[in-house]
Protein backbone atom coordinates (compact mmCIF):
# COMPACT_ATOMS: atom_id res chain seq x y z
CA UNK A 1 0.00 0.00 0.00
CA UNK A 2 1.27 3.47 -0.76
CA UNK A 3 1.61 5.59 2.36
CA UNK A 4 2.67 9.23 2.64
CA UNK A 5 4.95 9.80 5.61
CA UNK A 6 5.88 13.20 6.95
CA UNK A 7 8.68 13.07 9.45
CA UNK A 8 11.55 15.01 10.95
CA UNK A 9 14.98 13.46 10.49
CA UNK A 10 17.49 13.45 13.33
CA UNK A 11 19.00 16.70 12.00
CA UNK A 12 15.58 18.38 12.14
CA UNK A 13 15.01 18.43 8.36
CA UNK A 14 11.36 17.83 7.42
CA UNK A 15 11.02 14.96 4.97
CA UNK A 16 8.10 13.69 2.91
CA UNK A 17 8.41 10.09 1.78
CA UNK A 18 5.93 8.12 -0.29
CA UNK A 19 6.53 4.43 -0.41
CA UNK A 20 5.03 0.99 -0.51
CA UNK A 21 4.76 -0.66 2.90
CA UNK A 22 2.50 -3.51 4.07
CA UNK A 23 1.00 -1.34 6.82
CA UNK A 24 1.14 2.08 8.44
CA UNK A 25 3.09 0.54 11.33
CA UNK A 26 5.72 -0.81 8.92
CA UNK A 27 6.01 2.62 7.30
CA UNK A 28 6.54 4.29 10.67
CA UNK A 29 9.08 1.61 11.63
CA UNK A 30 10.95 2.34 8.37
CA UNK A 31 11.02 6.07 9.16
CA UNK A 32 12.37 5.36 12.64
CA UNK A 33 15.07 3.14 11.14
CA UNK A 34 16.01 6.05 8.86
CA UNK A 35 16.70 8.15 11.95
CA UNK A 36 13.34 9.92 12.19
CA UNK A 37 12.57 11.72 15.42
CA UNK A 38 8.86 11.85 14.70
CA UNK A 39 6.92 9.81 12.17
CA UNK A 40 3.33 10.61 11.30
CA UNK A 41 1.42 8.65 8.69
CA UNK A 42 -1.44 10.50 7.01
CA UNK A 43 -4.20 8.09 7.97
CA UNK A 44 -7.38 8.17 9.99
CA UNK A 45 -6.71 8.61 13.69
CA UNK A 46 -8.46 5.68 15.29
CA UNK A 47 -7.89 3.98 18.59
CA UNK A 48 -5.26 1.27 18.62
CA UNK A 49 -6.44 -1.93 16.99
CA UNK A 50 -7.51 -4.60 19.43
CA UNK A 51 -7.31 -7.41 16.86
CA UNK A 52 -4.27 -9.26 15.56
CA UNK A 53 -2.76 -7.09 12.82
CA UNK A 54 -2.81 -8.42 9.27
CA UNK A 55 -2.14 -9.72 6.85
CA UNK A 56 -3.83 -12.96 7.81
CA UNK A 57 -3.05 -16.08 5.83
CA UNK A 58 -5.40 -18.72 4.49
CA UNK A 59 -4.75 -22.44 4.10
CA UNK A 60 -7.88 -24.29 3.04
CA UNK A 61 -10.42 -23.46 5.73
CA UNK A 62 -7.83 -22.31 8.28
CA UNK A 63 -7.13 -18.60 8.82
CA UNK A 64 -3.95 -17.79 10.73
CA UNK A 65 -1.28 -15.20 11.46
CA UNK A 66 2.35 -16.15 11.99
CA UNK A 67 4.39 -14.12 14.43
CA UNK A 68 6.68 -11.35 13.17
CA UNK A 69 9.25 -12.19 15.86
CA UNK A 70 12.42 -13.50 14.14
CA UNK A 71 13.22 -16.18 16.72
CA UNK A 72 9.67 -17.61 16.64
CA UNK A 73 9.10 -17.24 12.89
CA UNK A 74 6.70 -20.17 12.47
CA UNK A 75 4.65 -19.65 15.66
CA UNK A 76 0.96 -18.85 15.26
CA UNK A 77 -0.31 -15.63 16.78
CA UNK A 78 -3.81 -16.95 16.21
CA UNK A 79 -5.51 -19.66 14.23
CA UNK A 80 -9.19 -20.05 13.32
CA UNK A 81 -10.90 -22.77 11.36
CA UNK A 82 -14.12 -22.30 9.45
CA UNK A 83 -16.38 -25.29 9.96
CA UNK A 84 -19.66 -26.12 8.28
CA UNK A 85 -22.86 -25.55 10.16
CA UNK A 86 -26.11 -27.43 9.87
CA UNK A 87 -29.72 -26.31 9.70
CA UNK A 88 -32.88 -28.39 9.48
CA UNK A 89 -34.11 -26.51 6.42
CA UNK A 90 -30.91 -26.17 4.37
CA UNK A 91 -28.79 -29.06 5.60
CA UNK A 92 -25.03 -28.79 5.97
CA UNK A 93 -23.17 -25.68 4.76
CA UNK A 94 -21.35 -26.46 1.51
CA UNK A 95 -17.57 -26.65 1.32
CA UNK A 96 -17.60 -23.81 -1.25
CA UNK A 97 -19.51 -21.56 1.15
CA UNK A 98 -17.05 -22.41 3.95
CA UNK A 99 -14.15 -21.51 1.62
CA UNK A 100 -15.81 -18.17 0.81
CA UNK A 101 -16.33 -17.50 4.52
CA UNK A 102 -12.66 -18.30 5.23
CA UNK A 103 -11.51 -15.93 2.45
CA UNK A 104 -13.69 -13.16 3.86
CA UNK A 105 -12.31 -13.67 7.38
CA UNK A 106 -8.71 -13.74 6.08
CA UNK A 107 -9.29 -10.42 4.25
CA UNK A 108 -10.78 -8.67 7.30
CA UNK A 109 -7.63 -6.67 8.27
CA UNK A 110 -7.19 -5.39 4.70
CA UNK A 111 -10.89 -4.55 4.41
CA UNK A 112 -10.74 -2.60 7.68
CA UNK A 113 -7.61 -0.72 6.63
CA UNK A 114 -9.12 0.12 3.22
CA UNK A 115 -12.31 1.40 4.89
CA UNK A 116 -10.19 3.58 7.21
CA UNK A 117 -8.32 4.96 4.19
CA UNK A 118 -11.60 5.88 2.49
CA UNK A 119 -12.80 7.69 5.62
CA UNK A 120 -9.45 9.52 5.93
CA UNK A 121 -9.76 10.63 2.29
CA UNK A 122 -13.39 11.65 2.81
CA UNK A 123 -12.45 13.72 5.87
CA UNK A 124 -9.60 15.36 3.93
CA UNK A 125 -12.08 16.24 1.17
CA UNK A 126 -14.44 17.67 3.76
CA UNK A 127 -11.71 19.78 5.38
CA UNK A 128 -9.12 20.90 2.81
CA UNK A 129 -6.76 22.11 5.54
CA UNK A 130 -5.82 18.46 6.22
CA UNK A 131 -4.21 17.86 2.82
CA UNK A 132 -3.52 19.73 -0.40
CA UNK A 133 -5.19 18.81 -3.70
CA UNK A 134 -2.46 16.41 -4.83
CA UNK A 135 -2.33 14.64 -1.47
CA UNK A 136 -6.12 14.23 -1.56
CA UNK A 137 -5.95 12.82 -5.10
CA UNK A 138 -3.28 10.36 -3.98
CA UNK A 139 -5.37 9.42 -0.94
CA UNK A 140 -8.28 8.72 -3.30
CA UNK A 141 -6.12 6.53 -5.58
CA UNK A 142 -4.54 4.73 -2.61
CA UNK A 143 -7.90 3.99 -1.01
CA UNK A 144 -9.31 2.70 -4.31
CA UNK A 145 -6.30 0.41 -4.80
CA UNK A 146 -6.54 -0.85 -1.22
CA UNK A 147 -10.27 -1.49 -1.60
CA UNK A 148 -9.82 -3.38 -4.87
CA UNK A 149 -7.02 -5.53 -3.41
CA UNK A 150 -8.99 -6.28 -0.23
CA UNK A 151 -12.13 -7.16 -2.18
CA UNK A 152 -10.10 -9.42 -4.49
CA UNK A 153 -8.62 -11.20 -1.47
CA UNK A 154 -12.07 -11.57 0.10
CA UNK A 155 -13.67 -12.92 -3.08
CA UNK A 156 -10.71 -14.93 -4.38
CA UNK A 157 -10.67 -12.99 -7.66
CA UNK A 158 -8.04 -10.87 -9.40
CA UNK A 159 -7.75 -7.19 -8.41
Integer CA distances (angstroms), 31 to 1, 54, 123, in order: 16, 20, 25
Closest CA to 23 of 61, 56, 53: 53
> Taking the model in full, what pTM does it have?
0.64
Higher pLDDT, 153 or 90: 153
Q: Is 144 exposed, middle or buried (0-12, 13-18, 19+ CB in 10 A)?
A: middle
Q: Is the distance from CB of 102 to CB of 154 less than 8 angstroms?
A: no
Tens of pLDDT along 11-49? Answer: 445 555 555 555 555 655 555 555 554 334 344 334 467
Burial of 96 (0-12, 13-18, 19+ CB in 10 A): exposed
Q: For residue 153, give every residue at least 6 positions away whose Cβ sits within 8 Å of its Cβ, in sequence order, or none.
A: 103, 106, 107, 110
Q: What is the tens place of the pLDDT at every residue in 68-121? A: 777 766 676 778 888 888 777 778 888 888 899 999 999 999 999 999 999 988
Distance CA(116)–CA(110), nearest Å, equals 10
Backbone φ and ψ for 138, nearest 5 degrees, come out as -65, -40
Amino acid sequence: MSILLKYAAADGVQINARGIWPSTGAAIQWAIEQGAVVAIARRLKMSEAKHTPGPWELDGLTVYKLTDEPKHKQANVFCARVDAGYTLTNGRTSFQECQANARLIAAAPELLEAAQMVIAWYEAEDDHSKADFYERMQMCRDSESALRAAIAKATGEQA
